[in-house]
Each structure stands twice: as structure tokens, then as C-alpha cells.
Amino acid sequence: MRFILRRLGFYLIALLVSVTLNFMIPRLMSGDPVQLMFARFQGRMDPRAIESLYETFGFVQGPLHEQYFTYLSHLLQGDLGVSIANFPIPVTEVIAVGLGWTLRLVGLATVIAFSAGIFLGIRAAWRRGRFADSVILPITGLLSAFPYFWLAMLVLYFFALGLGWFPLGHAYSLDIHQDWSSPEYLSSVLHHMILPATTIVLTAIGGWMLGMRNNMISVLSEDYITMAQAKGLSDRRVMYTYAARNAILPSLTGFAMSLGFVLGGALLTEIVFSYPGVGYTLLTAVNTRDYPLMQGVFLMITVAVLVANLLADTMYVLLDPRVRAA
């Protein structure tokens, strides 16, 4: 418990530092950043947007520390400002839409890749030199070495363009009304998800599988495994409760951290498949110089990574009793 509180404290400090940096950087530039942006837009900015920009950056009247507190209070209220390119939609709303799609696609794919990778890794280690180990492992390894976008485009080319089995892009058929209760909509969403999800799984599974397999192999050489077998326990029990339970610890923390990055969106996937997730949102924001939106996304990613790290630490404490003693 104390361990977790200590980590929480550490992460809160990290968060504060990044938020402060976020605050400081525009101010370190010489000149007025808002005016600079206005110049970029070649004067084609809604004057109200300029106002809100000043607000967002905390360029209100008053000394620096007042600005800082205003900025912090805005953040705490969940007010990330207003998106410039999509004025007057607030940043939080824009992100929310992208976040939903990202969580569904990338989240699901990561979970599948992890679960399948772990399961295959266990089998590969248990039966070393047999099918899973000598055939599947090298294949997944090979797949993870491919440049992702190349694999994605290949898949898109053959299965969508060539065979026409899957759509070429987007999260759902644009002519179907967005309604989660409609089975038509649901099946369209699923249909659109399959190719991008598959490409993510194919490239990610190798890493998890290899990691788990290697951990398993070192755990399998431990005496307590021999003891468990000598006790006459079934192979299944030894493999899962004794071996995998110990071997999975490092992979789990890796998984928790990769969940943090899920929120950053799988940028390449979303570009290749034109999937409207957070990555796509971020890309558009960069292209349109939509600073509030960019800042909002970065902040979200920062928080997500820190939360994921905290989650990983917590999980370790829950799963490994030796850490609790510390």
C-alpha cells in the first residue's frame, strides 16, 4: 500500500511538471504566440477564436503566477479550450469522438494481441522445439519486423482493393445512420474494424509471444516447477498456475504501459485506413495548426501514460507478494 502511495505521489509530481512545461513553453518564445498563429492563418481567423486562444493559453491580464493558476484551474475543470479549426467546438469534444474510435479499435486489437501472444508464448515454451515454438514463433517474429504501414497497405491492397472483402477505409459505412442500437450499424462498424485490427494484431503479437516464451523458459528451469511436477499435478496446473503465473509478471507491466500508448492512437493505422481515431485527429490538428487541440491531445497522452504506469505498478504489487513486503 505504501508503495502505491509513494508511486502515486511520484506520478502526480510528474504530471505537475509536464503541465507546467506545457504552460511555460509558449511563453518562452519571443513575441506573442497568439499573434504568431494569427499570422499563420493569414488573418483568416475568427476574432472570437483569438479571444479564446488568449484564454486557453492563460494570457489573461495579470502577473505570471495568476496566469498559471488560471491555466491550472481551467485544466482541473476539464476545460482544454476551443478548437481553432473546428471553432467553436471545444477541444474536449473533438478528442472525445476520436478517443471512442481509438479505444474500440486499438484497445481491442492490443488486448487480443496480448492475450494471443501470451497464450502462444506459454505453449511455445512448454513444448520447446515443437510446432508453436519452431513454426509460429518465427512467423510472428517475421511479421513484427515488417514496417507496419507497408504491411497495412499490402493487406488493404489485397483484401480490400483486390478481393473486395473489406471496405477501403473509415470506421463505418458513411451512408448508414450512426446509431449504436441498430444492428446494421454495428455490423458495419465491425466490418470496418477487421482489417485495421488484424494488421495491428499481426505486428504486435510477435513481441508478446517472444517475451512470454523467454520468461517461461527461465521460470521452467526453477526448482518449484520440478517440485510441482513431482507432486503429481496435472500438466495444465503446472503450466498455468505455477509457471505462467510467475512468468507473466514482466509482460503484464509491459502491457499496462502499452495501454497508455493506446490512447495516443495507432497513427499509422489510422492514416492507412482513414480511421477517425485520436491519431487521425492529432494529424489533422498538426496540419491545421490547431494548437489548443494539439495541446489537448498531448496532455491526454501524458495523463494516459502516467495512469498506465501507475496501473502497472499497482498490478505488480497485487500479483507479486514479494513486492508488498518492501
Q: Closest CB to other proteins among 189 and 247?
A: 247
Q: x/- contact string, 173-212, with other proteins (CB under 8 A)?
A: ----------------------------------------
Q: Closest CB to other proteins among 173 and 229?
A: 229
- Pinpoint the alpha helices (H) of 42-157: 47-56, 64-76, 91-102, 108-126, 131, 137-145, 148-155
Sign (positive/negative) of CA torsion 287, 292, 295, 301? Answer: negative
Counting residues that bind other proteins (by CB under 8 A) gives 25
Taking CB under 8 A as the criterion, which residues in 286-325 touch other proteins? 319-322, 325
Of 145, 97, 85, 126, nearest to 294 by C-alpha is 85
Is residue 20 within the footprint of other proteins (CB under 8 A)?
no
Cβ-contact 320, 312 below 8 angstroms? no
Give the nearest distance from C-beta 254 to other proteins in angstroms: 18
Give the nearest distance from C-beta 193 to other proteins in angstroms: 36
**Residue of 150, 182, 245, 286 interacting with other proteins (CB under 8 A):** 245
Is residue 257 within the footprint of other proteins (CB under 8 A)?
no
Is residue 4 within the footprint of other proteins (CB under 8 A)?
no
Q: For residues 289 and 41, what is the distance between their CA atoms, to the nearest angstrom?
A: 8
**Residue of 246, 251, 295, 309 interacting with other proteins (CB under 8 A):** 246
Is residue 14 within the footprint of other proteins (CB under 8 A)?
no
What string of DSSP letters covers 277-310?
A: SHHHHHHHHHHTT-HHHHHHHHHHHHHHHHHHHH
Is residue 134 within the footprint of other proteins (CB under 8 A)?
no
Of 284, 261, 290, nearest to 271 by C-alpha is 284
**Residue of 6, 40, 127, 130 interacting with other proteins (CB under 8 A):** 6
Q: For residues 159 and 256, what is the distance between their CA atoms, to the nearest angstrom?
A: 32
Is residue 229 within the footprint of other proteins (CB under 8 A)?
yes
Q: Closest CB to other proteins among 103 and 225?
A: 225
Q: For residues 103 and 287, what is the distance between their CA atoms, to the nearest angstrom?
A: 23
Is residue 129 within the footprint of other proteins (CB under 8 A)?
no
Is residue 230 within the footprint of other proteins (CB under 8 A)?
yes
**Residue of 169, 223, 265, 302 interacting with other proteins (CB under 8 A):** 223
Q: For residues 326 and 277, what is the distance between their CA atoms, to the nearest angstrom?
A: 41
Give the nearest distance from C-beta 247 to other proteins in angstroms: 10
Q: Closest CB to other proteins among 153 and 225?
A: 225
Q: Closest CB to other proteins among 118 and 268?
A: 118
Q: Closest CB to other proteins among 229 and 274?
A: 229
Of 259, 278, 93, nearest to 171 by C-alpha is 278
Residue 44 phi, psi (nearest 5): -95, 45
Cβ-contact 316, 14 below 8 angstroms? no
Q: Which residues of 149-163 are buried (b: 16+ CB within 10 A; e: fewer)?
A: eebbbebbeeebeee
What string of DSSP letters covers 32-65?
A: -HHHHHHHHTTT-S-HHHHHHHHHHTT--SS-HH
Is residue 1 within the footprint of other proteins (CB under 8 A)?
no
Is residue 232 within the footprint of other proteins (CB under 8 A)?
yes
Is residue 237 within the footprint of other proteins (CB under 8 A)?
yes
Binding residues vs other proteins (CB under 8 A): 2, 6, 222-224, 226-234, 237, 241-242, 245-246, 249, 319-322, 325
